[in-house]
Every structure is written in structure tokens, then in C-alpha cells.
Amino acid sequence: MTTSKSPHIVYVDDDSALLDLGETYLRKLSSFEVTTCADPEVALDIVRDSDIDCVVSDYDMPAMTGVELLETVREEHGSLPFILFTGKGSEEVASDAISAGVTDYLQKQPSSEQYELLVNRIENSVSEHRATRRAERYETVLEALGYPVYVVDERGRFTYVNDAFADLSGHAVDEILGRGPELVKDDGDVRKAADELGGILSSRGPDTTQFEIEIRTADGEVVPCRDHMGYLPYEGEAFRGSVGILRDISGERARRDELARDEHIIRAAGDPVYSLDSDDRFEYVNDAFVDLVGHDRERVLGSHLSSYLPDADYETYESLRASLGDGAETDRLTFETQLLAADGDGRDRVPMECHLTLLHDDGCEVVGTTGILRDISERLAQEAELSLMRRAIDEASVGITITGPSEDDCPIVYANGAFEDLTGYDAEEVLGENHRVLQGPDTAEEDCERFREAIADEEPCSVELLNYRRDGTPFWNQSEITPVHGDDGSVTNYIGFQREVTERNARQRLLERQNERFSEFTRVVSHDLRTPLTTARGYFDIVAESPGDADAEDLRKLGQSLDRVEELLSDLTALAAQGDAVAEPEPLDFRRVAERAWETVPTADAELRFDRTDGGASRTIAADESRLRQLLENLFENAVVHGGEDVVVTAGRTRSGFFVEDDGEGFPDGTPPHECFEAGVSERRSGGLGLAIVKQIAAAHDWTPAAEYGSNGGARFVFTESTTVARPPAQR
């Protein structure tokens, strides 16, 4: 590997545009020496012929995939850093790459931030690889008695070996002395030792050297050793020989391999890792930790943990660590903290989750701690967003519920405060219940069926239906449901919205009644009023032609027509005033109101009777007294006018309202009874606008009027009180 400061990178990608883009970013963001190549085979030749520090490769290439290129590099060049930089991100590709020994794995994104991350990963990989190689070449071996020791003369013959050397080689001391190194080494290691000796004997060489060899024992086993070699003092100009100490490095090799695996796992994970001594001073930090705090490694090592934690968080850490003392069930814990990064008064506080473990020596004494940090900024942001959404739902002005369709009967699993205010139910009361808890005797089954069909089809649905509060009060509910889908696309829940529209419906019904009155007004003006006006005009013209010879009958008919016009205008004025809703109805004695109304009507010999069926006429009724009297006056007058001067009129209460019935001639032949309420209807049972006014007064009280034949053949008018709140307007 080159020892130059700037790493030499080979960048491989079969897409020329992406290759140029990547080269541009690498040269802009770093001081790397970059060699680009579109063909993986050519890239292998470059690696073979040059001192390359790192390979960066795409995955999906026609001649050879990035993983296949990686496998070849591993076979030929060992642990040379290799970063897979691909646009095809998948768990399968990542798994194959990791299995092949990839150093790092990044997915392409069209942003400078991703290339900055790539440069960072290259720098880290090259730095770690160089450090490992230097450690392999220059690692110090402790010199201590007890290790195998040998001395050879100027001809390379053993002149001294200790018992440890004899034990290592499996040969007796006498068998070794006088023999050459080929007794315990193969030809390669013999040449290696000679070369090493030549190096320390040169005028510019070191006084000692150390190198790895393999000792071949008498039993044929191979023991990897590190040879610490020095030359014996010269006698004048004569070389006397060399001395060496061997160290069995079998365990060291195994530990080094294990360490390499561990470091690779830590590097691949990308999480900051650290270890502290017993005084909470940093003994080790990985590159990710250095990048996180924004300080040089040299500055971090030896510094105190409290330098990177807020005071309160460090106190919490001390308390938690103390809890892991003697008698604790575990030597590890997880806690959340904030890590202080960079310098200055405004140091960034990075929320982290720390997985801490105590470190013990061979005597099980605690000698420090090690920890892995995970940045939880995104998780906390998501939790904050979820919390905000939850508060928004909790505090929304409309009723909101959530149901679980995967459970039996689609129960309610959440209800907000507005739902409680709307329905009178506490959330705890409805949790686990179906929305049927809001239904009552007058809830339309077809509306409920629409919801069931929408849920079966996993579709949203909006229905206006009659619901009932906890105290039994009915109200009109604009209810909507919308399915909520999980990551796999299946419906996990339904969210429901409830808005009370009772007042809106009442306003719409009032508007409809006003429109009906306007239509009736227009019809009367265009038809019934035109007729007497036309008649009056005709007789006026006759009289005007011969004023002196005016016929009395013509003048009478002219006056009669004008009287009719005056009557219709009076009725129209009354009709216009009767459609407004009753604001504050009060309980009234129905019989008393009826008697007062009878007293104000010219009844001649007619008779008013009261029916005692269903509780009698004395039962109270909620109404506006003035308007109820006017309704009854119109009905009584209609009965006398069309039933005769001796007609018998019966009034009484029903279970759900009241009625007025006469024993007259009933309704005209061929005319359905219900048409008598229409303004402007001629003939029998019209009498101008009296019954139209009756209809408007009933509507203002939310009563339903009906006309039918009485028990004695006369006319019977029945009024039914509403048992619910204002219904939605009719669909047109």
C-alpha cells in the first residue's frame, strides 16, 4: 500500500454519466487521487499493477457485478478497502456484499450530502486499513524471560538454546546445538531470517528486528512465532552471530482475527463506540464517535466523559453506573442522554441512546465501561410528531373515533374529547363497543347498511343518520369513516368523524318552508288573485260605459270581487307570517286553547265537543299559544263554512298529537284529502288560504299535518308531533 498522504482510489461504474459525476464530486470534496474505470476487468488490472488504497464500485454492471468484483479483490488483495456504492439498494444485495467481506455499503442518491458521506467512508476505511498494516509490521513484543531464546554463530549454527526453545521445537537441546535453522524452519523462513539479519547489519539498519516465522516441531506441527532478533557485539570487525527471542503468537493471531472481525462489525454498524477507564476517561473511540463529537481522536482520548455530557445527564449516568455495582442482576443497561458536540457556548446537543456495559479484569474487578451510542434524533422527532398529531386529534372540535376492523365487531379503540361532548359518553364507556351504541329506535337501517357495505369494501363513506346521546336525546350526525392502511397495504383501522348537523337541518327545513310559502304566494297571486281582479275589471268596464245606467247587480258583483281580493290579500299577509319556527314553545292546556279559539269564530248553531280517548283533550301540548289558536280558528271556521251552520266539531288529543274532526260532507269528489292544504285550491275545503296557513303553523311547530275522512263521513285533520329532532332536508 502507498504511504502517501492522499489515498489512491479506483472508482468503477459502467454508467459514464454517473462515473463522471462521481469523479467530479470525489475530486471536489477530497484530495484523493482518483482513477475511473467503466469495466470491472480493467479495474482489476489497475489494482494488480498499482498501489491502490480503496476500490469504490457500482453493483449492477453487465460484465461483472460489484459483489463478483469484490470477491476477486478479496481473493487477490486480502482486506483492501472495498466500498459498494450502488443505486440498487436491497437487503439481498447488502447481505451478499457483507458475506463477501465488503468494507462499507452505500446507496446512491442525487445529492452532495451522499457523496460527502462516501468521502467520509473512504477516508475512514483507508485510515483503518493503514493502521492495521502498520500494527502488523511494527507491533512491539514484550521481551521477558521464559520465552524461547536462541543464539547462532556467524555461520547460522545454533550455539545456544534454552529449555523453552527445546520445548517449543520438540527437539532435545543436544539435537539442536550445532544444527542450522533448517531444523526448525522451512526454506522460506530461513531466507527471511537471513534477510532480516542483513538489514540490521547494514550501516543504516536498526539494531534489532522482529518478524514472524513458523517453527516446525519434531512432531510436524507448525507454531507461528514472532522472532525478536539482534546481532551479537562485534569483536573488532568480525561478525560473531545473532541472538533471538521467540514468542508463540498462536493466541495473538486468533485474537487479531477476532479483533478484525469485531472492528469490521463495529465499522459496518456505523454507530459510535467508546470505552472508558475506571475514572471515566476515554481509552478508545471509533471513527464514528470522533465524527459525532467533532474533535480529533487525540483530543478525545484521555478526556473525561463529563466533558461531553450536560451536568444533569452526567449525574444520571453516575447514578445508573452505581446501580450496576455488587449484587446487581446485570452488568449492562440502556439509557437516553444528550451528547455535547463541537465547541463553544452553543454546542450541539445530540440525543443519543447509550448501551453501556461494565468491563472486568481477570479478577472480575470493574476496570471501566464500554458503550455503543445510537442517534435517536429521528425517533424523537417522530415521537414528537406523533404526540402533536395525538394532541390535535384529542383537541379537535369534531368527534373522532378509531376502530379496529381486525377485531370482532369492529370495536372502538379510541374516542376524543369532542366525541364525549357530542354524545355524552365517556371514552372509557365506549372503548370496546361498536358504534351501534349511538343508534336508537328511529335510526334508519339503510343508513347503517351503507356503513357496513363500505367497511366490507374497505372504502370511505359519509352518511347523515339519526343518533342518540347517552341520555337518549336524538341528534343528527354527519358521520364519516375512512380506512387506515398499514405498511403492507391492508386496512388496520378505521377513523371516524362525527359532526352534529341538527341545527343545520333545522335551518334547511326552515328555508324549504320559506321557499314553499313563496311558491304558494306566487301561485295565489298568479291564479286565485287574478280571477277576482279580472272579474272586477270586467264589471267595472260595464259600469264605466254607462255610469248613469249602472245595474245594481253589476255593482254588487263588482263589490263582491273586490271583497274577494281584499280577503286574499289578508290571507297572503297571514300566510307570509306563519312559517317562522317557534322559538320557545310552552306547555298549554289543549282544551282551554281550543275553547278560546271557538269563541272567536262565527259558529252560528255549530257545536264543539271534546274527545276523551287517549287521555282526553285536557292533556298539555308544547306550542306557541297565539299560533295554536290561529290554527284551530282556521280549522273551526273551515268546518262551519263547509260543513253547515249546525255542524258538530270534535277536537281531542292523540297519543302523539291532536285532531279536529267535523261531521259535514267531507271532501269534494275526485279531490284527494291531502290536497286541501295547498294554497289556491278551489272548491270545497279551500276557503282562501286558511288551510295553507294551518299547514305553515304546523310546520313551524315541527308537526306533521294529515287530512282524512272522519268516522261520520266528514273531514278529519290530524297533527302528529315530531318524536325526533329536525330531520335532514329531502333529497332532490
Core vs surface per residue 481-512: b (16+ CB within 10 A) or e: bebeeeeeeeeebbbbbbbbbbebbbebbbee
Q: Report the run of H or E that residue 706 belongs to, with start and end.
A: strand 703-709
SS3 label, residue 370? strand
Identify the bridge partners of residue 246 per DSSP, sorted by sequence position.
Answer: 227
User: Is 47 a member of any domain?
Assistant: yes
**What is the mean pLDDT for each group of 10 consecutive residues in the chain (732 residues)?**
71 91 90 92 92 92 90 91 84 85 86 89 89 54 63 92 92 94 93 90 81 93 92 80 89 74 67 87 87 87 89 87 70 83 71 84 77 84 79 80 76 88 89 87 87 87 89 89 87 87 74 63 53 67 71 68 63 55 80 89 87 67 88 89 89 91 84 73 47 84 90 91 58 39
Cβ–Cβ under 8 Å, residues 579 and 620? no
Cβ–Cβ under 8 Å, residues 380 and 352? no
For residue 28, the domain's CATH number is: 3.40.50.2300
Residues 565 and 607 in one domain: yes
Max CA distance (Å), the chain: 178
User: Is 728 a member of any domain?
Assistant: no
Residues 569 and 689 in one domain: yes
Cβ–Cβ under 8 Å, residues 156 and 243? no
Give pLDDT tens digits for 37-75: 999 999 999 999 988 999 999 998 988 999 999 999 999
Residues 389 and 363 in one domain: no
Residues 128 and 154 in one domain: no
Spell out the SS3 assignment of 393-405: HHCCCCEEEEECC
Give pLDDT tens digits for 205-252: 788 899 999 999 999 999 999 999 988 877 777 888 899 999 888 887
Residue finishing a domain among 375, 396, 421: 375
Q: Is the pTM of this model over 0.75?
A: no
Residues 366 and 328 in one domain: yes
β-pairing, 366-375 vs 348-360, is antiparallel
Residues 493 and 524 in one domain: no
User: Is 265 a member of any domain?
Assistant: no
**For 308, which DSSP code?**
G
DSSP-assigned letters across all residues of 433-462: --GGGG--TTS-HHHHHHHHHHHHTT--EE
Where in the sequence is the domain holding 331, given as residue range(s)? 270-375
Residue with cell 347498511: 449
Residue with cell 481473493: 75
Residues 426 and 317 in one domain: no
Rounded distance between C-alpha atoms, residue 162 and residue 173, angstroms: 7
> CA–CA distance from 503 to each of 104, 420, 508 (Å)?
66, 19, 9
Which residues, 6+ apart, have CB-to-CB distance to 729 below 8 Å? 505, 508, 509, 512
Q: Report the run of H or E that residue 22 belongs to, with start and end.
A: helix 16-29
Spell out the SS3 assignment of 513-551: HHHHHHHHHHHHHHHHCHHHHHHHHHHHHHHHHCHHHCC
User: Is 463 a member of any domain?
Assistant: yes
C-alpha cell at 525: 297571486
User: Is 94 a member of any domain?
Assistant: yes
Residue finishing a domain among 222, 254, 286: 254
Residues 304 and 325 in one domain: yes
332 CB neighbour count, 10 Å cutoff: 13
Q: Give the CA angle between residues 727, 728, 730 to the nearest 5°.
A: 110
> CA–CA distance from 463 to each of 416, 673, 688 (Å)?
20, 35, 42
**For 280, which DSSP code?**
S
For residue 632, the domain's CATH number is: 3.30.565.10
SS3 label, residue 584? coil
Which residues, 6+ apart, have CB-to-CB distance to 91 below 8 Å? none
Residues 358 and 448 in one domain: no
For residue 173, the domain's CATH number is: 3.30.450.20
User: Is 555 a member of any domain?
Assistant: yes
111 CB neighbour count, 10 Å cutoff: 10
Classify the phi-psi angles of 78: left when phi > 0, otherwise alpha if psi is within -120 to 50, otherwise beta: left
- Give the per-residue pLDDT at 144: 43
Please choose, from the candidates 423, 437, 436, 430, the residue with its C-alpha nearest in 3D space to the C-alpha of residue 476: 423
Residues 652 and 536 in one domain: yes
DSSP-assigned letters across all residues of 629-682: HHHHHHHHHHHHHHH-TT-EEEEEEETTEEEEEE-S--S-TT--GGGGGSTT--
User: Is 261 a member of any domain?
Assistant: no
SS3 label, residue 190? helix
Rounded distance between C-alpha atoms, residue 732 and residue 559, angstroms: 44
Residue with cell 273531514: 715
Cβ–Cβ under 8 Å, residues 284 and 276? no
Which residues, 6+ apart, have CB-to-CB distance to 697 below 8 Å? 578, 627, 628, 630, 631
Which residues, 6+ apart, have CB-to-CB distance to 324 below 8 Å? 330, 331, 332, 333, 358
Rounded distance between C-alpha atoms, residue 212 and residue 193, angstroms: 9
Rounded distance between C-alpha atoms, residue 638 and residue 649, angstroms: 11
- Give the per-residue pLDDT at 533: 67
Q: Report the run of H or E that residue 594 belongs to, with start and end.
A: helix 590-599
**CA atoms within 13 A of residue 696's CA, in its CB half-sphere:** 31
Sheet with strand 241-248: strands edge to edge: 158-161, 149-153, 241-248, 222-231, 208-216
Which residues, 6+ apart, have CB-to-CB distance to 395 below 8 Å? 416, 417
Residue with cell 467530479: 24
User: Is 262 a member of any domain?
Assistant: no
DSSP-assigned letters across all residues of 99-165: HTT-SEEEE--SSHHHHHHHHHHHHHHHHHHHHHHHHHHH------BTB-EEEEETTS-EEEE-HHH
Residue finishing a domain among 254, 289, 323: 254
Rounded distance between C-alpha atoms, residue 292 and residue 374, angstroms: 11
- Give the per-residue pLDDT at 83: 93
Rounded distance between C-alpha atoms, residue 542 and residue 556, angstroms: 13
Residues 314 and 186 in one domain: no
Please state the separation of Cα 203 from the chain's center in Å: 74
Residues 681 and 553 in one domain: yes
Rounded distance between C-alpha atoms, residue 282 and residue 309, angstroms: 13
Domain count, the chain: 5
- Give the per-residue pLDDT at 593: 92
- Give the per-residue pLDDT at 568: 56
